[in-house]
Structure 1
Amino acid sequence: MTPPDSLSCLVTGAGGDIGRAITARLLAGGHRVAALDISVPALARLAAAHPEQPRLLTAHADIRDLASIRAALEASEAALGPPDVLINNAGGVTAPTLRATSEADWLADIELNLNGPFRCIHAVAEGFVARGRGTILNVASVNGLGVFGHPGYSVAKAGLIHLTRFCATEYGRHGIRSVALCPGTVRTQAWEARRAAQPGILEEAMQWYPSRDISTPDDVAAAIEALLNPSLRLMNGAVITLDGGLTAGSDLLASAFTGTPL
């Protein structure tokens, strides 16, 4: 049975580690989820993880193609009702440095991490306005707030943060709020693969986090779920970090600058 306070949520990149965790959290909370992803096998695995779940719709969508997004949105509305929430989670990285970044890399990063979320917002915005409500949650990154490698991805995420502010400013009077969540390093399969190839890399990275810890996909999902709380109705245009203090500062640098152990 669908709870009366159930929200209809569109989740992009739902087949990845973070997307699966978000989907599971939302379903456990009684919400309806349209899980969008470009990977059909990933969507099949997601559906298999939630058998006979009437509040889950899996839909193939390429966020680089507005027609594809609109087709998935149409299927979602037919199955789960008009969306209340858009969670722009899909993303990816290419080259790690500017010198290694080709024009194709740069354009690919911008297309996936900034243009894609813009298209998704464009697809749902008029419906949100017509209904006088809606929530846009953009999964950005600490890379959009500082220099941590992967320039194309980072510039796109910085743009996504500013797009969040534009949405808050232009759509706020229509009952729509927009928030950017900026995780630090997340313990995904991609990071575990890097760890296997470069033993110690994750532990070395962790030293730069004041909390000496990094997020799991479920940590990100928990933050997303919390941001849906209706009591946060005035949290609009906010940029929330989930980074163990990474963007707050570095105790290692503070100790080096002062010559004093902390």
Structure 2
Amino acid sequence: MGATIAVVTGAAGDIGRAISARLARDHDIVVLADRDLAAAERAAAALGPDFVPMALDVTDPAACDAFAARVAGMGALQTLVNNAGGVQAESLQSTAAAQWAMDRALNLDAVFYLFSALADQLKATQGAVVNIASVNGFGVYGHPAYSAAKAGMIHLTRLIAVEYGKFGIRANAVAPGTVRTQAWEARAAANPDVFREAAAHYALGRIARAEDVAEAVGFLASPLAAAITGVTLPVDCGLTAGIPALARTFSQSADY
């Protein structure tokens, strides 16, 4: 079958690098796909020789097709992780049409484009797809266009699981809560207490690490999850299970 390949999009970011490092345990080559090739090259240099940086704009269907052709010449694609994402709009009232379109394109349309481009390769290996969604796809935590797109991603994951299951392809999603990444640093600069304030809403009293997300991806991509498809696994330190402060208020019990 040749070298086994994993593709991680948005691989130059904190979560992307952690996922890539985790998948290297189970794959011969990890392709670090990112719109910023220089950043992907720096990540590859730091991670080691089994990591291959490639430029990719996941919002461009033609670019996704060309990327798929390059990957096909490298070996057998076993795992696709759609991790690239980002946010423009902060509130629904302040969202412009262009911001809505940008958030949707990056967080939803891109998943469809790249999966479609790589589907035949994944069929050949009965491979796995892991989409990086968000708790924002479950409830209202701000960033409306991003949230709507992540909700769409969660449903697209189910669509892939159901329609492509007959080919042996498994599709699952991971939904992180707050993770300390570069994207959060501007908020932390404006409010140094932002991570402490966020942690207060989580049952475990902390926010997730990039490595926590990566381990969930590694599990879902592995044979350990051979019977799991169409699910979304929150990696959120308990946020979607319930908020301690609310439980304490509603019950008037100090046990929460």
So what's the TM-score if we normalise by structure 1? 0.92
The residue number in structure 1 matching 2:113 is: 119
Alpha carbons of 1:194 and 1:72: their partners in 2 closer, same or farther (altered >3 Å)? same
Percent identity over the alignment?
44
- RMSD, aligned CA: 1.7
Partner amino acid, structure 2, of 1:22 = I
Partner amino acid, structure 2, of 1:235 = I
The residue number in structure 2 matching 1:184 is: 177
The whole-number CA distance in structure 2 between the counterparts of 1:212 and 1:7 is: 38
SS at match of 1:180: strand
Contact 2:199–2:206, Cα closer than 8 Å, also in 1:
yes
SS at match of 2:53: strand
CA offsets 1:148-184 (integer angstroms, 9 cap, x no match)? 0000000000000000000111011110110010000
Q: More displaced, 149-158 or 91-100?
A: 91-100
1:147 positional shift? 0.5
Partner amino acid, structure 1, of 2:200 = Q
The residue number in structure 2 matching 1:13 is: 10
Q: Is 1:67 aligned to residue 62 of structure 2? A: yes
The whole-number CA distance in structure 2 between the counterparts of 1:98 and 1:250 is: 24
- Note the residue ranges of structure 2 that are not aligned, 5 or more in a row: none
For residues 219-230 of structure 1, the aligned pairs below 5 Å read 219-230=212-223
The whole-number CA distance in structure 1 between the counterparts of 2:187 and 2:107 is: 22
1:50 positional shift? 3.3
1:5 positional shift? 10
SS at match of 1:186: coil
CA offsets 1:52-77 (integer angstroms, 9 cap, x no match)? x1x32211010111111122222222
1:48 positional shift? 1.8
Q: 1:91 aligns with which of 85, 88, 97?
A: 85
For residues 1-262 of structure 1, the aligned pairs below 5 Å read 7-51=4-48, 53=49, 55-79=50-74, 81-129=75-123, 131=124, 133-262=126-255
The whole-number CA distance in structure 2 between the counterparts of 1:209 and 1:116 is: 30
The whole-number CA distance in structure 1 between the counterparts of 2:136 and 2:182 is: 19
Partner amino acid, structure 2, of 1:94 = Q
Contact 1:57–1:76, Cα closer than 8 Å, also in 2:
no
Alpha carbons of 1:244 and 1:136: their partners in 2 closer, same or farther (altered >3 Å)? same
The whole-number CA distance in structure 2 between the counterparts of 1:120 and 1:245 is: 31
Runs of 4+ deviating beyond 6 Å: none
Q: What is the aligned length?
A: 255
Partner amino acid, structure 2, of 1:182 = A
